[in-house]
Structure 1
Amino acid sequence: MAGKGIAVIGAGMIGAAHASGYRTYGPRVDGLSTRLDTVCDANADLATKLARNWGFARLANDWRAVIDDPEIDIVSVCLPNFLHTEVTQAALKAGKHVLCEKPLALSAREARATHDLALTASGKSGTVFNYRRIPAITDIRARVNAGELGQPVQIVIFYQCDYAADPMLPHSWRYEFDRAGPGALLDVGTHAVDLARFILGDVDEVSGAISTISINERFLPAETATGHGHVALSDKKAKVDNDDVMSALLRFRNGAQGFVTASRVAVGMGNRIQVEVYGTKGTARFSNELPTHYDLAVFDGKGPAPFTRMINRPSSPYVGELAAVPHDLVPIGYAESFGFMIHEFLSAIAEDKPFENGSIEDGYRAAQVLDAIQEASMTNAPVKVGGEE
């Protein structure tokens, strides 16, 4: 068959983001022919809907069959957290190109094993850190690296969601530590940690952390539940044993400090990311609620430094090359940033080069920080990052 076959394993909400990215940006990669081959999910209705919506040719209900299929060359792992390690490692061993959803694993030890395997695997591989491709975030990082903000002093990142704020949402794997790992910390805090590393570099220590479970138990569903949707509830409840909110104080290898906080119960916040970077010469700030621009203030030594609005332009990262409408002030949303990541991943395959911007190693390094945050929240003491090595 012509073109490299693409499979999306997991037909839930995030599987649709992968499918959209492959369909929209796959044809835009020079030197690579792809085809939307298989959607795999144990829920046949979900798989059928996703395949129909995005133009995949085949369905499967067993991820092992997908991994063994010689017609499949590229695999997106979009399954619950507790399956990431097993499926990603199987795909790497089979020589597939693999893009694994965050978190890469439930722990740094598991992530290290996947990372070590990826080092010798024949396929390209990466972790889903799509927010790196927001033009404002990429540009802020470039300014930090160029010294335009001076010596980095502090980074503050809020990732606040409200998808779990309703106590009548059913219990699921997301609320079980054994299957999801830490709750808000791994679900959305992984992105916050990765953005902190992306902008300021490696974290040396977690100086302190605190976690909160605000909804201690939830009703079990009376029917199959997917995503964050409401379904009929049974009269039985199950314990929630992972965090609804987690906050941490970080110390970076370059001497800067950071504060990251992640919540899944922040009423009214939807899916909000706010990034603020402070240096000795300037400040940059961005919110995904205002996706057309970010704000930059640089001290010129003469007086107060006002903020300047740095708008999206065709010269902004990704905009001129990949945005559907490369024009001033055009918002770049979630789907675009996700698609930019898919384009980079497929380009790495086409050019036979490592996928470095959100690599498996980045997933592993984020896992090290996440482990240290968990430990600091339990011990109420500073924790060096990388203690599992």
Structure 2
Amino acid sequence: MKSLGIAIIGAGMIGGAHGAAYRQFAHRFGGDGMELRCVCDMNEALAGDLARKYSFRKTARDWKQVIGDPDIHVVSVCLPNFLHTEVTLSALQAGKHVLCEKPLALSAAEARPVRDAALAADCVSGTVFNYRRIPALSDIRKRLTTGDLGKPVQISVLFQCDYAADPMLPHSWRYEFDKAGPGALLDLGTHAVDMARFMFSDISEVTGAISTISVPERHLPKAATSGHGHVDLSDEMAKVGNDDVMSGLLRFANGAQGFVSASRVAVGSGNRLAVEVHGTKGTARFTTEMPSFYELALFEAGRPSNFVRMPNRPSSAYIGQLAPVPHDLASIGYSEVFGYLIHEFLEAVAEGRALENGSIEDGYRAAQVLDAIQTASVGNAPVKVDWQA
């Protein structure tokens, strides 16, 4: 196999996660393998630091230079939300294999051309829905698919962080609606909505939603920022234009109901995903705060249904031999799961097949639901989701 050049566009916080995962898994593929070729960012120091840390050969300042480089074949788009559409669309049109960070776009209308381009392109593409690779959640979905949990009844998905709870964190693009879209909803709720779809399939209606801005304004920073760290602040304030908390009630095409909530001000929640699934025969629940196991209760007539702890197994059939320590009781964490996503993406590239578990189509479907939640929160009325569009 000809050596394939890998590039990361965007050297910020999440670009580092891509860099670490590529460094871990790119060498696993045969022939001449895959080469860590370029890190692109307008901040040259940031790009250089990431390139050195994970052994990428060079850096670039202009993403268009990367897209036009014939030695670059695989691209991760790790830019601020408002740049995802343009860069991903350009990469697809140039024939690059592309993995776009969530959210795919600021709205479904912006996401649809990207989805259409992905369907037409002769290359592999995907949206970063890494939490699908948590063995426990994959196992819960399998139990739903096989009928072990019975007919789907209800699901609750919470994605809670506290990075914005501190009012002294600086204002940035994340707090501007025209650059970030809905705040916690788009930044974090994308994962919650995708997980609800992953478990229960298509969502037909958002029956209600509510949003809150708990920190109404923030200080502007004195210099450029990256991630969620503290920096020197100016005396000038800027209004926060998107939600800190957003919650929505869902109706699924299969008749089940659901609740999703996203918060960036949930004090004490570093990066918490909590999923609880109820079926006619059983219940399962998992939280990333307790990654070693999940809880499962199955109903059988005439017998008590107590929760039992099931290990979040590295030896899951989904992971195979990817886990460095494949002992059943060794816990699986964020970095491993992110690596499994990158491995699956590169495996699809190497084999010339579509990435189906977290596709661009999945990113578009999530965008449709996110639009409906936002609209329902503004209009205080139910909103249909055209999941056949």
Q: Which runs of 4+ in 1 moved over 6 A?
A: none
Q: CA deviation at 1:313?
A: 3.5
Q: Any unmatched runs of 5+ in structure 2?
A: none
Q: Is 1:223 aligned with 2:223? A: yes
For residues 167 and 332 of structure 1, what CA distance do their matches in structure 2 show?
33
- The answer for the alignment partner of 1:383 in structure 2 is 383
Q: CA deviation at 1:28?
A: 2.2
For residues 65 and 10 of structure 2, what CA distance do their matches in structure 1 show?
14
Q: CA deviation at 1:329?
A: 1.4
Give 1:359's aligned amino acid: S
Q: Deviations over 1:212-251 (max 9, x none)?
A: 0000000000112111111000110001010000000000
Aligned length: 389
Q: CA deviation at 1:290?
A: 1.1
Q: Is 1:146 aligned with 2:146? A: yes
Q: Any unmatched runs of 5+ in structure 1?
A: none
Report if aligned partners of 2:315, 2:327 keep a CA contact under 8 Å in 1: no
Secondary structure of 2:321 counterpart: helix
Q: CA deviation at 1:154?
A: 0.3
Report if aligned partners of 2:7, 2:76 keep a CA contact under 8 Å in 1: yes
For residues 31 and 160 of structure 1, what CA distance do their matches in structure 2 show?
43
Q: CA deviation at 1:2?
A: 5.9
Secondary structure of 2:289 counterpart: coil
- The answer for the alignment partner of 2:13 in structure 1 is 13
- The answer for the alignment partner of 2:182 in structure 1 is 182
For residues 272 and 313 of structure 1, what CA distance do their matches in structure 2 show?
19
- The answer for the alignment partner of 1:212 in structure 2 is 212
- The answer for the alignment partner of 1:111 in structure 2 is 111
Q: Is 1:295 aligned with 2:289? A: no
Report if aligned partners of 1:161, 1:267 keep a CA contact under 8 Å in 2: yes
Report if aligned partners of 1:318, 1:340 keep a CA contact under 8 Å in 2: no
- The answer for the alignment partner of 1:57 in structure 2 is 57
For residues 317 and 366 of structure 1, what CA distance do their matches in structure 2 show?
27
- The answer for the alignment partner of 2:371 in structure 1 is 371
- The answer for the alignment partner of 1:86 in structure 2 is 86
Report if aligned partners of 2:314, 2:330 keep a CA contact under 8 Å in 1: no
For residues 30 and 119 of structure 1, what CA distance do their matches in structure 2 show?
27
Q: Deviations over 1:157-213 (max 9, x none)?
A: 111000000000000000000000000000010000000000110000000000000
- The answer for the alignment partner of 2:256 in structure 1 is 256
For residues 30 and 224 of structure 1, what CA distance do their matches in structure 2 show?
41
Give 1:297's aligned amino acid: A
Report if aligned partners of 1:284, 1:296 keep a CA contact under 8 Å in 2: yes
For residues 283 and 184 of structure 1, what CA distance do their matches in structure 2 show?
28
Report if aligned partners of 1:30, 1:347 keep a CA contact under 8 Å in 2: no
Q: Is 1:246 aligned with 2:246? A: yes
For residues 319 and 126 of structure 1, what CA distance do their matches in structure 2 show?
19
- The answer for the alignment partner of 1:310 in structure 2 is 310
Report if aligned partners of 1:11, 1:47 keep a CA contact under 8 Å in 2: yes
For residues 313 and 260 of structure 1, what CA distance do their matches in structure 2 show?
26
Correspondences of 1:19-168 after superposition (within 5 Å): 19-30=19-30, 33-168=33-168
Q: Deviations over 1:55-103 (max 9, x none)?
A: 0000100001000011100000000000000000010111100000000
Change (3 A) 1:53 1:116: same
Give 1:335's aligned amino acid: S
TM-score (norm 2): 0.98
- The answer for the alignment partner of 1:268 in structure 2 is 268
For residues 259 and 387 of structure 1, what CA distance do their matches in structure 2 show?
18
For residues 37 and 232 of structure 1, what CA distance do their matches in structure 2 show?
34
How many percent of aligned residue pairs carry the same amino acid? 67
Change (3 A) 1:243 1:314: closer
- The answer for the alignment partner of 1:361 in structure 2 is 361
**Backbone CA RMSD of aligned residues:** 1.4
For residues 317 and 210 of structure 2, what CA distance do their matches in structure 1 show?
35
Change (3 A) 1:139 1:269: same
Give 2:286's aligned amino acid: F
Give 1:99's aligned amino acid: L
Secondary structure of 2:17 counterpart: helix
Q: CA deviation at 1:123?
A: 1.6
Q: CA deviation at 1:32?
A: 7.0
Q: CA deviation at 1:321?
A: 2.1
Secondary structure of 1:92 counterpart: helix
For residues 329 and 110 of structure 2, what CA distance do their matches in structure 1 show?
42
Report if aligned partners of 2:213, 2:242 keep a CA contact under 8 Å in 1: yes
Correspondences of 1:342-361 after superposition (within 5 Å): 342-361=342-361
Q: Deviations over 1:105-130 (max 9, x none)?
A: 00001111100011111221100000
